[in-house]
Structure 1
C-alpha cells in the first residue's frame, strides 16, 4: 500500500471565477514527512493549503485544474469538518481563537470538533501542556488577553486536540519573536520525530522552516519553481536570493 497521504497533482485555483492564484502546483506528502511550502507573501501558499481542506468555496474560490487527494480521495468531495474527523487538520493563518474563552476552553473546542470522549480529551490536554508548558501555566487566562506567542501555541494545541494524522499549518511564525518561533518549531519537530505526525506548513521564514523540515517546495507567483531536500536548499544562497527574499539559513 502506498504511503502517500496527501497529493497535490498539477493544482490550479482561482477566486471569483477569474482571479488565478495557482498554476499547476504539484507536491507529494508521505506518512511521517515534515514538509515546508516556501515563498513570498502572495505566492499562493495559503490558497494551496486552504484548497487541501476544501476551504476555498467559502471565499468564492475553487480548484480549476488538477486535483488534491487525501488518502486517495478527492478533497472536494468532503466538507472541511469531515476532513478534520478523517485526520486532515488545518491551523489557519491568524490564530483565530475564541478570544473571550480561556486558553483551555479553546483547546477543548478542538476535541469537541473531533467528537472525542472524556478520556481522550484528557490525554490530549496532557499532550498539549507537555509540549507547551506555558499554556499549562496560562490555561485559565482569557485567550484574547494573552501574548501572540501564547495564542499561536493555543491555536496549534487546539489543532492537536483533534488528533491529526496530517497537520497543515499556515505561517506559524508570523508576527512572533524569534525565541517564540524557535520554541514552536522545536515543538513541531518533536511531534514529528516522536509520534510520526505528518506535517505540512507554509512559511515566509525560510531559515527556520529549512532548519526543521525534511523537504521543501518553493512557490512563486502561484507556480512550484523548486523542490528538494531541505538540507540541500539550505546550502544554496542562489536559491535563497532568487526565491526566498535573501533569507539565508545558517549552516
Structure 2
C-alpha cells in the first residue's frame, strides 16, 4: 500500500556541490503523526523543503532518489500546487504578515486555497477552538504579539488551508516549555480527532517523542533509525543522545 508521503533513497545538494541529504528513506502513512528528529544541521529542514518542492528557490535540488506525495513525484508540481493538493508546510521562523492582525493572517491561509466565506468561517472556528488565546488576540497586530502567539498563528494559517498532510519545521524553536507543550498537545489532538496526517521536524526530541506515533532520526543527512515513537524513546542510544539520559 502506497504511503501518503514517501522518501525513497533521497539525496540533495545546494549549489550543485554542498551535500545536505544522502540516501534518506521515510514513509508517512495517512493518519500518522510522524516526527523527524536530529540536531541542527542534520538535514531535517532540507528534507521538508524537498517534500514541497521548495529547494530550487534556494539553489538546491534532489540529486538522487524520489519523493512522492499520493504516489506522484513532488518535483512535477509547484509549491503552490502542492498546497492546493493538500500538502501544506509551516516553515521555520513564524512567517507572518507582521503588519496585519492575527485574524487577517489566518484568513490569508484560506484565501490562498480559494475558499470563500464558509471555508473561512469553518477554518476560524477550528483554529480558535484549538488555540483559544488567538481568539482573544485576533484583532492584535501580529508583529506585536508574543513568540508563542505568532507560532500558533503560523500554524493556524496553515490549518486554514485545510491540509491533508501538514508539514511543520521546528515548531518549538525559541518558545517557553509551557507554550511548546500547548502547541504539541494541539497537534496531537488534531491528529487524534480529525485524522490529520502530520510530519514534524523537531530538535526537541523529548516533546516530539511524547506526542508523535512514529519517528525517524536524521544524522549528517542520513536516516539512521526509525520506528514507533515509544520504542525509540526507550532505546538507550536515543535517551543518551537526545533525551539527556532519561526517557521522555
TM-score (norm 1): 0.97
Structure 2 CA distance for partners of 1:247 and 1:175, relative to 1, 3 Å: farther
Instruction: Name the CA distance, whole Å, in 1 between partners of 2:39 and 2:69.
Output: 26
2:133 counterpart of 1:123: no
Query: Residue 244 of structure 2 aligns with which residue?
Result: 246
Q: 1:13 to 1:45 in 2, by over 3 A?
A: same
CA distance in 2, matches of 1:31, 1:245: 28
Do the aligned partners of residues 245 and 191 (structure 1) sit closer, same or farther apart at CA in structure 2, a change above 3 Å counting?
closer
For 1:193 and 1:173, locate their aligned partners in 2 and report how far apart those are by CA, in whole Å.
20
- Structure 2: distance between partners of 1:15 and 1:245: 31
CA distance 1:248–1:54, shift in 2 (3 Å): farther
For the pair 1:100 / 2:85, whether they are aligned, the reply is no
Write the deviation string for residues 103-153 of structure 1: whole angstroms up to 9, x where unpaired. 001001100110001111100001000000000000000000000000000
Q: Name stretches of at least 5 consecutive residues in structure 1 with no aligned partner.
A: none
Instruction: Note the 1:41-120 alignment, pairs <5 A.
Output: 41-120=40-119
Alignment of 1:144-163 (within 5 A): 144-163=143-162
Matches within 5 A, 1:15-54: 15-54=14-53
Following superposition, the deviation at residue 234 of structure 1 comes to: 1.1
3-state SS of 2:4 partner: strand
Distance 1:239 1:28 in 2: 20
SS of the residue corresponding to residue 16 of structure 2 reads coil
Q: Secondary structure at the match of 2:53?
A: coil
CA contact (8 A) 2:2 2:71 kept: no
Q: Which residue of 2 aligns with 1:7?
A: 6
For structure 2, the 5+ residue unaligned runs are: none
Contact 1:208 1:249 in 2 (8 A): no
| Number of aligned positions between the proteins | 248
SS at match of 2:183: helix
Q: Where do 1:232-243 residues align within 5 Å?
A: 232-242=231-241
DSSP 3-state at the match of 1:164 = coil
The two structures, once aligned, show a CA RMSD in angstroms of 1.0
1:248/1:94 CA distance change after superposition, 3 Å: farther
- TM-score normalized by structure 2? 0.98
Paired residues of 1:192 and 1:199 also in contact (CA < 8 A):
yes
Deviation at 1:246, TM superposition (A): 3.2
**8 A Cα contact 2:11 2:20, kept in partner:** yes
